[in-house]
Amino acid sequence: MDIILGLIINILEEGFIYGIMAIGVYITYQILDFPDLSVEGTFPFGACITAVLILAGVNPWIACLISFVLGAGLGCITGLLHVKLGITDLLSGILVMISMWSINLVILNNKSIMPFYNKDTIFNSGLSGLLTENVLDYRVLIIVAVSCIIVKLLIDLYLKTKSGLLLRASGNNSQYVTSLGKDSGTMKIIGLAIGNGCAALSGSILSQKVESANTASGVGMVVVALASVIIGTNIFRKVKFMKATTAVIFGSIIYKACLVIAMQLGLPTNYLKLLMAVIFTIALVFNNMFVGKGKKQNVNPTQI
C-alpha cells in the first residue's frame, strides 16, 4: 500500500510541475497555433538559472520569479524571429532551442549537471515552514499543487482581459485583430513570452525538487507538454464547466501516470523516450480522428 501511495504522490507531484509548462504550451499551440519548440531550451534554462541563483544565496521563490521573467524574454526572442524577421514559426523555435543548449552550458560553467544539495529551496524554507507536522510528508505535493493552481488562475484571469481576448482572437482570426488597429504579431510575441515563461518556471520548480540542474532535462519536454494539452483537451472537452487550463493540468497528470504504469509493468527505462513518443502519437491520432485540427477557443468580437 505504501508503494502504491508513493507512486500516486510521485505522479501528482510531477504532473503538477509539468502542468505549469503544459499551460504555457496550451497558449502557444492551442490558442496561437504556434508549434513552439523553444520550450526544450527554456525548460532547462529555468533550472540552470535557479541553480546558479540558489547557490548565490538568492531566495528560492525569487529564483522562480526570475526564471519566469528570463524565460519570457526568450519567448520574446522566438516571437521576434518569427514576426519581425519573417522566419517560420517552426524554425524560430528550433533556432532558440539550439542556442539555449550552449547558453545553458555557459550558465553552469560548462558543466552538464550542477547540484545544490542542502540549500534552501521552496520545499524546505519560507512558506513550507508554515505546514503543520502531520502534512510534512506531503509538502512537495502541496507546494507544487498550489503553485500550479496559482499559475492556472493567473492565466485564466489574463485571458479574460482585453489583452487576453486579443491574444485569443489572434489565434482565431489575425485579420480581425488587424482591423481593430492592433498588431497580431505583438500578440504572438506576448503569447510566446507567457508560454516560455511557464516552461522556465516549471524547470525551476523541478530543479528545486531534485536539488540539481541538468542541461539535458529539456529533451522531450515538447512531447510531454503537447501530449498533456491534447490528452487533457480531448478527454475533458465535453465537460462544460471545466476550463481548458484545468483540463491541461489533468492531461499532464494522466500522461505522467501512463509513463509510471508502463515502468511498473517492467518496461526498461531505455525505452522511456520511445514510450513518450508512442503516447503522443496515439494522442495525435485520436485528436485528428475525433476532434479535427487544433480547435481554438472562439472569441466574441463584442468582448474586445
* pLDDT winner (highest mean) among 152-156, 256-260, 275-279: 152-156
Q: Per-residue pLDDT averaged across 54-63, rounded? A: 96
- Is the pLDDT at 274 greater than 90? The verdict is no
Give Dmax over CA atoms of the chain in angstroms. 60
- Is the pLDDT at 176 greater than 80? The verdict is no
Q: Give percent of the chain with pLDDT exceeding 90.
A: 65
One-letter-per-residue 3-state SS of 240-293: CCCCHHHHHHHHHHHHHHHHHHHHHCCCCHHHHHHHHHHHHHHHHHHHHHHCCC
Q: Per-residue pLDDT averaged across 2-13, rounded? A: 89
Q: Give percent of the chain with pLDDT exceeding 70.
A: 90
One-letter-per-residue 3-state SS of 89-138: HHHHHHHHHHHHHHHHHHHCCCCCEEECCCCCCCCCCHHHHHCCHHHHHH
Return d(Cα 195, Cα 200) in angstroms, integer: 9
- Is the pLDDT at 293 greater than 50? The verdict is no
Are 55 and 247 within 8 A, CB to CB? no
Q: Per-residue pLDDT averaged across 49-76, rounded? A: 97
Q: What grid cell was written down for 135?
A: 502534512
Place of cell 515552514: 129
H or E segment at 236? none
Q: Per-residue pLDDT averaged across 271-299, rounded? A: 72
User: What does the pLDDT read at residue 298?
Assistant: 54
Q: What grid cell was written down for 69?
A: 521573467
- Is the pLDDT at 116 greater than 60? The verdict is yes
Q: What's the domain count of the chain?
A: 1
Q: Is 211 left (phi over 0), alpha (psi -120 to 50) or beta?
A: left
9-18, 122-131, 179-188, 238-247: least confident range? 122-131
Reduced to 3 states, what is the DSSP secondary structure of residue 295?
coil
- Is the pLDDT at 45 greater than 60? The verdict is yes
**CATH classification of the domain holding 58:** 1.10.3470
- Is the pLDDT at 262 greater than 50? The verdict is yes
Q: Per-residue pLDDT averaged across 155-165, rounded? A: 92
Closest CA to 206 of 52, 57, 53, 48: 48
121-125, 212-216, 272-276: least confident range? 272-276
For residue 271, give its domain range: 2-303
183-192, 233-242, 257-266, 288-297: least confident range? 288-297
Question: What contacts 247, CB < 8 A, 6 or more positions away?
Answer: 232, 233, 235, 236, 237, 239
- Is the pLDDT at 108 greater than 70? The verdict is yes
- Is the pLDDT at 294 greater than 50? The verdict is no
Decide: residue 265, CB within 10 A, 0-12 exposed, 13-18 middle, 19+ buried: exposed
Place of cell 507512486: 7
Closest CA to 204 of 38, 27, 20: 20
Return d(Cα 76, Cα 65) in angstroms, integer: 17
Are 276 and 220 within 8 A, CB to CB? yes
Per-residue confidence at 290, pLDDT binned at 50, 70, 90?
A: low
Q: What is the pLDDT of residues 29-41, one digit of tens each?
A: 999 989 899 999 9
- Is the pLDDT at 295 greater than 60? The verdict is no
Return d(Cα 185, Cα 5) in angstroms, integer: 47
User: What does the pLDDT read at residue 183?
Assistant: 79
Average pLDDT, the chain: 89
Q: What is the pLDDT of residues 121-139, one digit of tens each?
A: 999 887 776 666 666 678 8
pTM of whole model > 0.85? yes
Per-residue confidence at 179, pLDDT binned at 50, 70, 90?
A: confident
